[in-house]
Chain A
Amino acid sequence: MKSIKFLYLLAFGLFIFASCNDDPVIENQEEVITDLVVTLTPTDGGDSKTLIFNDDDGDGGNAPSIVGTSLAPNTTYDAVIVVSGFEEGEDEKEDITIEILAEADEHQFFFQATGLSIDFEYADTDSANRPIGQQFRLITREAGSGTVLVTLLHEPTKDAAGVADGDITNAAGETDVAVTFPVTVE
């Protein structure tokens, strides 16, 4: 059995020479969005409200925290979305909104209310004069409670039917953000 022992030695010998995978590295997931905050300020003045999504450990691990809000009926709010993530390691969060606005023609937010009577209007445009949705207006009607879904699509077909009016059906693209916030209007 000497020859077999020799083969095993040879196996390990070759392995040392030829297996040159580096030590593993913990990747910095700079693309991953961990936070999304929608700030809603009444056009007629008054306190602003916020919708907050936070999930520092990404897809796995602990469940995300989602905080909704209550809004006044028959009120128009100016809304601004800020998304952020760990751009430079785990110590500090950076604003990813800048990255999205730099590629405004490849991004669009969509809004959808369920169980509530709320209208949404885009308040910003990209270089081709098509909506982005990072800034929008939210108009409440009568009181009620339900949810508001905020969706961010990457590479949507912005000139497809209905997309400029906020209809996601024909928009193609893949979802970068889809968060449902509980909202009451009272």
Chain B
Amino acid sequence: MLATIALAMSVSCERDISDDAVEATFPNTAEVFTDAPVGLTDEFFTSFDPASGANPNGFGTDEDEAFEGTTSIRIDVPSPNDPDGGYIGGIFKDRGEGRDLSGYDALTFWAKGSTTATIDLVGFGTDFEENKYAVGLPGITLSTDWRKYVIPIPDASKLTQEKGLFIFSAGTQSTNGLGYTFWIDEIRFENLGTIAQPRPAILNGNDETRQAFIGTNIALEGLTQTFNLASGQDVTVNAAPSYFEFQSSNTGVVTVDEAGNVNVIGANGFDAGGNPIFTTVTASLNGNMAAGSLTIDSQGEFTPAPTPTRDPSLVKSIFSDAYTNEPVEYYNGYYAPFQTTQGQNDITINGDNIIKYTQLNFVGIQFSQPTINASDMTHLHMDLYIEQPSPLDGGDFLRIELQDYGANGTFGGGDDSTHQLTYTIPTLFSDGWVSLDIPLASFTGVTSTANLGQLLFISDGTITDMLVDNIYLYQIPTSPTVAAPTPTDPAGNVISLFSDAYTDVNVDTWRTPWSAAATTFEDVTVAGNAAKKYGNLGFVGIETTTNTVDASSMTHFHIDVWSSTYTSFNIKLVDFGADNVFGGGDDTEHEVSINMPAQGEWVSLDIPLSDFTGLASTSNIAQYILVAQPFEATDVFIDNMYFRN
């Protein structure tokens, strides 16, 4: 009663503004919960989605506990293995169109716990709509007696129509999985007058420089606002991007939208001395400059990693837009205390998701829930782009470590196996994509690949900035599972020896008797498409002696080849000369060698006839000799063998 009188008296002295000046505003009700919800939806607690593991059953009111009045909110935090959900959390939402909170500077409440647990998050501004002005205070520690908590409003002038009046999220990380209860009472917005010394920050106050390309998109993170309270304590809340104003030092190179998304749209400019001019993104909150900045070194146009072509049915992907990825827990474990590496799967360039590591010393990617069974896989692929202003030197290295978690499927337990492979120049180089296809068998310390759990990159700081894309395990089968690409050269420009796409000329033999003894020949079908298989290819002769081929109007020799094991592949063409028969002194020939062709996928060779420099004439081509290494120990499939112009 006394409080009511005092309030009435204090307003009685205020001069009323005239009716003309009254603006249409939303109610400024301060209370959220006293002994009952105030102005909230009837079911005033809206749980997080149970599909995320949220337990919707532990929320209620308690008439036996209250800080003031008769009733408090009671929250029973479940254990992680509770069948109804392993954590609890949700929001309180305004019943109407929202409230005008611009006259307040904090949300306050009282809470006590059955134990001194840590609550993951409390806050406001989350309305399960735009969440535009979401604010979160992480990690408050409960007392077993009532204690007041203050969540400062980063900039109250933004909150003229706010529906998200309270949010909390609580689990049992701080109690080793033991459930507990906590009570909340007297939730209200207040104008304390003692919320002071604002110190906003982006990127948690760090000044970061990142290399980027046109099309790079980076979401600014680590957005916080810190205030000093009457207690003298600093409180830092996470603040939604909408509280901030973002600035770019050159909007022709880098733009930032209201949501804090940084988009690179141009390349670095250069000063008079030819030095690149970087672009810096900064921010302010309610007129206060935020600590932290993002400086972009834009390299201009971006060359994406080669698009993977492996048959998706033979791939288990860890990170690639080309495939469906296996469940991955994280692309950076931020292992304390020795890891410096920042960055993870948080950038896109022209829509291509890419992992970007900075300050690399080591970093782990974990995929242990469940582990990946790669026992039917043969290779590990990844594309690396080392960003470095100067070329790599002999001291720079990257170790790639693969860990199998063993039969128990979890880290440790005595059944893990691991192996590191070290890469240096010239395999590694900077400012271009390095594509690695590593036989799993070369990870000799990995005794089983049935429970792969982790992939690590280790550079000890010799390589610090690296893009990674298309990390996947794949199987190279012993024979192709997909047909060779269908040729697109117009039939009128082609003389075909073997292709379903064209009418073929007469070929006398696809395996001359003088071919390598171990080499076998077989007409086969690959995914419904005719192909030819040479088993244990050493060398094989193919002949068009009856009707030699006049390829003098052609410019290229084309052949699609496939092998899971070859390390080189050679093609020799023999022209019988003007006499059109073997011998006679006018025969000419030339052999072209393809070193390290890609294994386990169709390789389309389209070789200019001018590369066959020893071939004096192409008017009477009669012999085609295919050679592979390892000699008489590799199976090679061919398709679409033709001349074209």
A binds B: no
Chain A contact residues, CB within 8 Å of chain B: none
